[in-house]
Amino acid sequence: MNILFQVALRNVFRNRRRSLFTLSALVVGLAVVLMITAVANSFHRFSVENAVNAKLGALQIHRSGYMNNLSLNPLSFKFEYSRDLLEKIESVRGVKAASGRIAFRGLVSNGRNQALFFANAVDVSREEKVCPRWLGALTLGSSALLSTDSAHAMVGHELARSLSVAPRAGVPAEGDASFIEAAPVEVASDTLNLSAASPEGRQNAVDVQVKATIRSLLPIEEKRSMVVPLSLAQSLLGMAGKVTEIAVAVDELDEISTVQRELQLVLGSEYEVSSWADVQPFLRDIVFRQRVMIAIVSVILFVLVLFVIANTMTMAVFERTREIGTMLSVGIKRGQIQTIFFSEALFVGVVGGFIGLVLGLVGVLITHRIGIPFGSVGFERGILRPFLTLEFVVAAFCVAVLCSGIAGIFPAKRAAGMNPVDALRSN
Amino acid sequence: MANTETHSTLTNAPNANAIIDIRDLRKVYQLGKTSVEALRGVNFEVSEGEFTVVLGPSGSGKTTLLNIIGCLDRATSGTYRLDGEDVSQRDFNELAEVRNYKIGFIFQNFNLIPVLNVLENIEFPCLVRKEQQNRAELRERVRALCAEVGLERFMKHRPDELSGGQRQRVAIARALITQPRLVLADEPTANLDSKTSDQILELMQRLNRQHDTTFLFATHDPRVMDLARRTVRIKDGLVQPD
C-alpha cells in the first residue's frame, strides 16, 4: 500500500475515540436517513395502494377529452362496454383485470326529503378483481352488493342517516369488506328513490334497496356517495351497454408507466389512459411533498454530519501540525499532504457509510418483518412495511462518502497550506 | 581543542567546490507595518564534507539562516546556491524536491512520524518521491543504515517505544537514507543526556567521515563545537569574521 495511505489509515486508528465519534455521526446520520425514508416509502405505498385498491384502480380508461371536461357533462363521454374491448385491454402485458364503471350524479329521495348524490356504478363481478377493497368499510348490519343485484345500493353513512334509511340486517358481506361500528340510524325504511338525467338530459328515476352503508375518511363521501350495480345505472341513464370509464388493475404498481404507455398504444387516440396520479393529483402531490420533506431532512442530516467530520478533521490537523512540518521537511509536496488528510476523511466516509448502511438496512429489515400497525377509517387496517429501493441505498451511501470527502477538503487544504517553518516550530 | 578554520574570503565567481554558497543573503520579515531584517547581507560558504557549526545568540538570525539553507524558507534577496544550483527562486514544490533529494534534517525533538515504525520512518523520504522505488533494494539500504546506527533490533518499533537516543538515531538514519549532499542538525543533542549525546555525536562524526556527507549544526553544545572542523558565528544578521 502507498505510504501516504498507510499514514492516513493509521492516523484514523491512532485517535480511536475521535474517529469513533466521527464514525458515529456518519453511521447514525445515514441509518436515520435510511430508516425515515423506508418508513415514508411504506406509507406512500400504503396510501397509494389503498386509494388504488379501494376506489381508483391503478389506471383508468376514458374517451378522449373526458379528463379535461369533467365539469361539463361526463356522461356524454360514454363508450361501448364490449367484451372485445375488455379482452383487448386485458391482453396488454402487466394488466391484471379491467372493469367498467359509470360515474354519475343525481337526486336521492326517501319520499319526504331529498339530497344530491354522487354515484359510482360498478360491474360487481369484475370490480373486486380491479379494486379488491372496493366494498370499503361497511357498517355492521350491511351486506355487500352481489353480481346478481340489480336494484340495490351501498350508501354513504351520513347520507343514509339524513334520509333515515339503513340496510335490513341479516346477510353478512362477502369478500374483504371490513365491518365497523357506526352511530345508530333512526330507520324509517331501506328503500330510496334515485333520479338522474341521461346524457341527453332526459330525467328518469328508479327505486333501490339499501344493502349497506359505508364509512369513509372523507366527509363528502359519507354525505354524498353511493355505489350501485352497473346495470342499474345503465337502465336509469339510458346507457345500455355503455360505460364512462374502465378501471384497470396492474400486476406491479411500480410498472404502471409502462403499462399505461402500452395500453394507450393498443387503444389508440380514441381513448385516454390515466394513472391514479393523473386522476387524483392531490394524492400525488401529498406523496411528492412528503418526499421533498424527507429529502430536506436528509440533506440537513448530511450537512450536520459534514460539519462534524470537518470539525474533527480540522482538530486533527491542528494537533498534527508538527508532524506535517516534519513531512514537509523531508520533501513531501503539498498535494501529498492533501492526499493524506483527504484519504482519512474518505476512509471514515467509506467505513462509516458501510456501517451506517448495514445498521440502517438491518433496522429497515426488522421493521419490515415486524411491521408498523397503521389504520384508520377509510384506510385498510393494515401494517406499514418499510422498504428501500436499491437506487436509493446506493445513492445514500455515495452521498455519505461524498459528504466525508467534501468535509475533508477544507482540513486537507489547511494542512497542505502550512508553512514548513511555522509547522516545525509548533508544539 | 576545536578544529576550526576561518571562512574563506568570497569572490564574485561561484565556488565550484562549495556545497553551500550564499551571497548577500537578506531576509526581511513584515510584522504589521514594521519590517524586521533578520539577515542583512550574509556571505557564507561550506565546502563538501565539512563538519560545520553555526553559532549565535537568540535573535541573531541563526535559525532564519538555517531555514533558508534547509530550503524551508526563501530569502528576500541574494543568492543561495546548493550543490552548484541556484535555489533562491524555486517555488514551494521545487524546494520540496530539493529538500527530498539533497538535504537531510536532524531535529532537536527528533520529529519522527508517530504512526510509522523505525523502518518506515527511515524509508519515508524515499517513498514520497515521484519515481517508483525498488522496495527490496530500499529495504536493504534501510537495514544497512539501521545496523550502522545500531537500530537493527528495533526496526519494527514505533517511535513511542524508543528512548530519546534511539529516536535520534532513527532521525539520523532518515536524514541519510536519501544520500543527501547536506545534513542539517538543529540542536541534535539538546534533548539527550550527556552519554547519549556523546554516542550520537560520535555516530554523526563517523558517518561524516564514511559517507563524506556535509554536516551543518546549529548548537550551543560545547561538545559539538569541540568536534566541529569549522565554526561560523552569526550576530545581528551578519556572519562574523573569525
Per-domain residue ranges for chain A?
A: 3-50+284-425, 65-268
Q: Lowest mean pLDDT: which of A7-21, A60-74, B141-155?
A: A60-74
* Residue of chain B whose Cα is closest to the Cα of A14: B115
Strand B51-55 and strand B103-106: the pairing is unpaired
The CA distance from A238 to A246, in Å, is 18
| A56 — pLDDT class (breaks 50, 70, 90) | confident
Q: What is the mean pLDDT of residues B55-79?
A: 91
A86 within 8 A of A115, measured Cβ to Cβ: no
Tell whether B107 lies on the interface with A, counting CB pairs under 8 A.
yes
Q: What is the mean pLDDT of residues A369-397?
A: 83
B181 within 8 A of B175, measured Cβ to Cβ: no
List of residues 6+ apart from B139 with CB closer than 8 A = B119, B123
Q: What is the mean pLDDT of residues B12-21?
A: 76
Is the pLDDT at A105 greater than 50, yes or no?
yes
Q: Lowest mean pLDDT: which of A155-169, A176-190, A300-314, A339-353?
A: A176-190
**Residue among A120, A424, A57, A81 nearest A273 (CA):** A57
Q: State the smallest CA–CA distance between residue A298 and chain B in angstroms.
A: 36
Give the count of alpha carbons within 13 A of A303, CB side only: 6
List of residues 6+ apart from A318 with CB closer than 8 A = none
Q: State the smallest CA–CA distance between residue B11 and chain A in angstroms.
A: 31
* Residue of chain B whose Cα is closest to the Cα of A324: B113
B87 within 8 A of B93, measured Cβ to Cβ: no
Range of the domain at B159: 48-73+97-240
Is the pLDDT at A286 greater than 80, yes or no?
yes
Is the pLDDT at A162 greater than 80, yes or no?
yes
pLDDT at position B11 is 53
C-alpha cell at B101: 533529494
How many A/B residue pairs have CB atoms within 8 Å?
Answer: 74
Q: State the smallest CA–CA distance between residue A330 and chain B in angstroms.
A: 5
| Chain B environment of A325 (Cβ under 8 Å) | 111
A7/B112 CB distance under 8 A: no
Between residues B67 and A144, the one the model is more confident about: B67
Backbone phi, psi, residue B77, to 5°: -155, 170
A244 within 8 A of A102, measured Cβ to Cβ: yes
pLDDT at position B7 is 42
B128/A333 CB distance under 8 A: yes
Say how far residue A214 (Cα) sits from the centre of its chain: 24
Domain count, chain B: 1
Residue indicated by cell numbers 388493475: A249
pLDDT at position B1 is 37
Q: What is the mean pLDDT of residues A360-377?
A: 87
pLDDT at position A380 is 54
| A166 — pLDDT class (breaks 50, 70, 90) | confident
Q: What is the mean pLDDT of residues A133-144?
A: 73
pLDDT at position A182 is 58
Q: State the smallest CA–CA distance between residue A417 and chain B in angstroms.
A: 10
Tell whether B124 lies on the interface with A, counting CB pairs under 8 A.
yes
User: Which residues does residue B2 pair with via DSSP β-bridges, in sequence order?
Assistant: none
Mean pLDDT score across all residues of chain A? 88
∠ CA B126-B128-B133, rounded to 5°: 50
pLDDT at position A186 is 61
**Residue among A156, A159, A184 nearest A169 (CA):** A184
pLDDT at position B4 is 39
pLDDT at position B2 is 38
Residue indicated by cell numbers 378522449: A64
Give the nearest partner residue to A327 out of B70, B113, B123, using CB atoms.
B113
| Chain A environment of B125 (Cβ under 8 Å) | 330-331
**Residue among A316, A312, A384, A306 nearest A40 (CA):** A384
Q: What is the mean pLDDT of residues B206-235?
A: 86
Strand A137-139 and strand A178-180: the pairing is parallel
Strand B51-55 and strand B214-218: the pairing is parallel
C-alpha cell at A254: 411500480
Residue indicated by cell numbers 436528509: A298
B96/A323 CB distance under 8 A: no
| Chain B environment of A332 (Cβ under 8 Å) | 96, 100, 128
The CA distance from A139 to A143, in Å, is 9
A291 within 8 A of A40, measured Cβ to Cβ: yes
pLDDT digits (tens, 9 = 90+) for A3-52: 899 999 999 988 888 889 889 999 999 999 999 999 999 988 888 888 88
Burial of residue B194 (CB within 10 Å: 0-12, 13-18, 19+) is: exposed
Strand A191-197 and strand A203-215: the pairing is antiparallel
Q: Is residue B144 part of a domain?
A: yes
Any idea what the CATH number is for the domain that residue B207 is in?
3.40.50.300
pLDDT digits (tens, 9 = 90+) for A331-365: 999 999 999 999 999 999 999 999 999 999 999 99
Backbone phi, psi, residue B168, to 5°: -70, -30
The ipTM value here is 0.90
Is the pLDDT at A111 greater than 90, yes or no?
no
| B223 — pLDDT class (breaks 50, 70, 90) | confident
pLDDT digits (tens, 9 = 90+) for A202-256: 899 999 998 888 887 778 878 898 999 999 999 999 999 999 999 999 998 888 9
The neighbour count for residue B114, using CB atoms within 10 Å, is 15
Mean pLDDT score across all residues of chain B? 87
A339 within 8 A of A3, measured Cβ to Cβ: no
